[in-house]
Amino acid sequence: MSERSPDATAGAAPHLPANAIELKGLRKIYRRSHGQPPVEALKGVDLVVPRGSFFGLLGPNGAGKSTLINILAGLVVKSAGTATVCGVDIERNPRRARRTIGVVPQELNLDAFFTPRETLEFQAGLYGVPRRQRRTEELLRAVGLGDKADAYARSLSGGMRRRLLVAKALVHDPPVVILDEPTAGVDVELRRSLWEYMKGLNARGRTIVLTTHYLEEAERLCDRIAIIDRGTVVACDEKSALMRRLDEKELVVTVSPAVGELPEHLRRRSVVRDPEGRLRIRYHPSRTRVIELLDAVREAGFTIVDLVTREPDLEELFLRLTGKGAEGKR
């Protein structure tokens, strides 16, 4: 997937507002039949996505992410609250709002009997893009499908279909692109090329919103992250600020001689011996200095041979805030 994009200046127009997406008190209640109680998928969500950010929207199964995305895309009607995309209210001006956003869905929802060229031309027509302004050939080349322009979609590999969905989301030149689990089930090479392409778009002014169950992807790519759980935003901040919330590190110390029974003063500091015979010490940087821990190890009669510190990762923060695992977060 080429880094070059035909929409190099898209999304960077000076008239756009500071925030790409603003949600205030957004609620969605699904009514159920046969006397079953309603389900409140979104419970008054307040959320701001700054323009030009690479924004991660994370949460476990049933958290409300898909409902939120579908509301923004005009596929689900909200129950209450307001939502704007690039300053356009999705309820007051739904057609204009839909033109500001492009969604790359998780499902490979392509017509099997359309070629990639026909798919993009049809999508451009749905958005009212004049023929002279369409960039079908450029988009196909940009996502590495120039040589497959006239092949039926049913003959494309899963990775090629995923690329076609990216191009399809960009035909109307939207300043905001939402990626809904875009790398689920794809190979490493495609995942890498997709992220390089998206980072290029983001660098040229696009706002990218990513949902993914690969937390390492969100940690590596996103500059700002929101975590939603049971229809409520439980955290939203710059990635670095969120990670500081944990206030926890681990120190792994290789010592000599070999560790036998740990002295009492080390056990009081929550020092444990791992299977490799190293000392593992979890501590709070705001309350404990590393030098104090190392002095305690030396006082126990050990010589420090090597040491490594491990920072907390996004998965630990996710688990702390939601109490759920890192798999299947939809």
- Fold classification of 19-240 is Rossmann fold (3.40.50)
Q: From 222, 247, 224, select the one nearest 317 (Cα to Cα).
A: 247
**Any idea where the domains of the chain sit in the sequence?**
19-240, 249-311
DSSP, collapsed to helix, strand or coil, labels residue 24 as strand
Is the pLDDT reported for residue 186 higher than 90? Answer: no
CATH of domain 249-311: 3.30.70
Mean pLDDT for 194-213 is 92
Give residue 2's pLDDT band: very low, low, confident or very high (50, 70, 90).
low
Quick check: 309 and 250 in contact, CB under 8 A? yes
pLDDT of residue 324: 58
Residue 112: both structure tokens together? 């099997």
**DSSP 8-state code for residue 263:** P
**DSSP 8-state code for residue 58:** E
In the chain the first and final C-alpha atoms are separated, in Å, by 27
The residue ranking higher by pLDDT, 34 or 7, is 34
Q: List strand residue ranges (DSSP E) for 222-329, in order.
A: 224-229, 232-238, 249-256, 271-273, 279-283, 303-310
Q: From 20, 58, 52, 51, select the one nearest 219 (Cα to Cα).
A: 58
Is the pLDDT reported for residue 54 higher than 70? Answer: yes
The residue ranking higher by pLDDT, 323 or 131, is 131
Does the fold of domain 249-311 match that of domain 19-240? no
Pairing of strands 249-256, 303-310: antiparallel
- Read off φ and ψ for residue 150, nearest 5 degrees: -110, 15
Residue 99: both structure tokens together? 């033109």
pLDDT of residue 281: 92
Question: Any idea what the Cα angle at residue 260 is, between residues 280 and 255, rounded to 5°?
Answer: 50
Give the contacts of 141 (CB within 8 A, at least 6 positions apart): 2
Q: Encode pLDDT of 152-184 as tens digits.
A: 999 998 888 988 999 999 999 999 999 998 887
> Quick one: CA torsion of 320, 321, 324, 330, rounded to 10 degrees?
-140
Give the range among 152-156, 251-255, 313-317 with minimum mean pLDDT. Answer: 313-317
